[in-house]
């Protein structure tokens, strides 16, 4: 389908039986986390296909309208971001189409895991908790929830029990711990299976976190 998001795809050494869709942050692209894959040290028998979509290029209001890859426009760079919610919802629909493409490749939804960093994490959050078929899990990295108001009215029952791992840097000055905690506490209060882990780092990934991500992916797909 020509309207699918362009993606970087890493195939396993054997036919894939699971997929990870990993969303980059604002201003980056799908290549951003490709180098991380070997360091996850996943067992070969997991047979995971990694999909790294490229966000569209669009003007970003908080950056004086400068065009860059962004999953949605950020209207105000406040601690709790003021965003263009229609952009976020439209992007989530595009991620849904990627999930469906994997289904067409005989990867069931329950073998598909979403990972998102920063702005990509907001997309991963919203997509996972609203997706109507059970997913393997969600890993939210250095991120926040783009829409929290009245979300309990639209949550999908299918993913009320999925495992959610939240990772955040204690020295993150881009997405504050308080903003990230709001997402965590919101889903915790709704009885999601969600856990939190902090690292001595800024707005980035660190080696110990990468090792944890590998372990989480293995657990979610085993």
Q: Write down the catalytic residue from 130, 203, 212, 218.
A: 203
Report residue 139: phi and psi, to 5°.
-120, 120
Q: Write down the catalytic residue from 118, 126, 142, 168.
A: 118
Whether 109 is catalytic: no
138 three-state secondary structure: strand
- Asked if 40 and 214 count as a contact pair (C-beta separation under 8 A), the reply is yes
64 burial level (CB within 10 Å; 0-12, 13-18, 19+): exposed
Whether 2 is catalytic: no
Q: Write down the catalytic residue from 29, 32, 73, 172.
A: 172
Of 143, 141, 146, nearest in space to 175 by CA: 143
Q: Which two tokens stand for residue 201?
A: 């780092």
CA distances (Å), origin 48, targets 17, 18, 143, 179, 208:
6, 5, 24, 31, 21
Whether 193 is catalytic: no
- Asked if 156 and 185 count as a contact pair (C-beta separation under 8 A), the reply is no
How far is residue 156's CA from residue 8's CA, in Å, rounded to a whole number? 29
Which H or E run contains 57?
A: strand 57-60
- Contacts with 184 (C-beta within 8 Å, 6 or more apart), sequence order: 166, 194, 196
Residues with catalytic roles:
118, 172, 203
């Amino acid at each position: 389908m020509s309207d699918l998001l362009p993606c970087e795809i890493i195939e396993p050494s054997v036919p894939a039986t699971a997929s990870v869709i990993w969303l980059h942050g604002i201003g980056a692209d799908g290549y951003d986390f490709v180098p991380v894959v070997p360091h996850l040290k996943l067992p070969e028998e997991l047979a995971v296909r990694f999909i790294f979509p490229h966000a569209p290029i669009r003007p970003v209001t908080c950056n004086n309208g400068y065009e860059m890859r962004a999953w949605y426009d950020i209207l105000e760079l406040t601690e709790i971001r003021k965003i263009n919610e229609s952009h976020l919802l439209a992007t989530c629909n595009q991620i849904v189409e990627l999930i469906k493409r994997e289904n067409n490749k005989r990867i069931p939804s329950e073998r598909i895991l979403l990972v998102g960093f920063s702005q990509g994490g907001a997309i991963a959050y919203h997509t996972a908790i609203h997706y109507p078929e059970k997913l393997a899990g969600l890993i939210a990295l250095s991120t926040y929830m783009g829409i929290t108001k009245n979300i309990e009215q639209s949550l999908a029952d299918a993913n009320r029990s999925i495992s959610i791992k939240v990772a955040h840097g204690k020295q993150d000055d881009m997405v504050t711990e308080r903003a990230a905690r709001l997402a965590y506490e919101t889903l915790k209060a709704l009885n999601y299976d969600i856990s939190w882990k902090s690292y001595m780092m800024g707005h980035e990934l660190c080696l110990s976190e990468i090792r944890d991500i590998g372990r989480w992916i293995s657990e979610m797909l085993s």
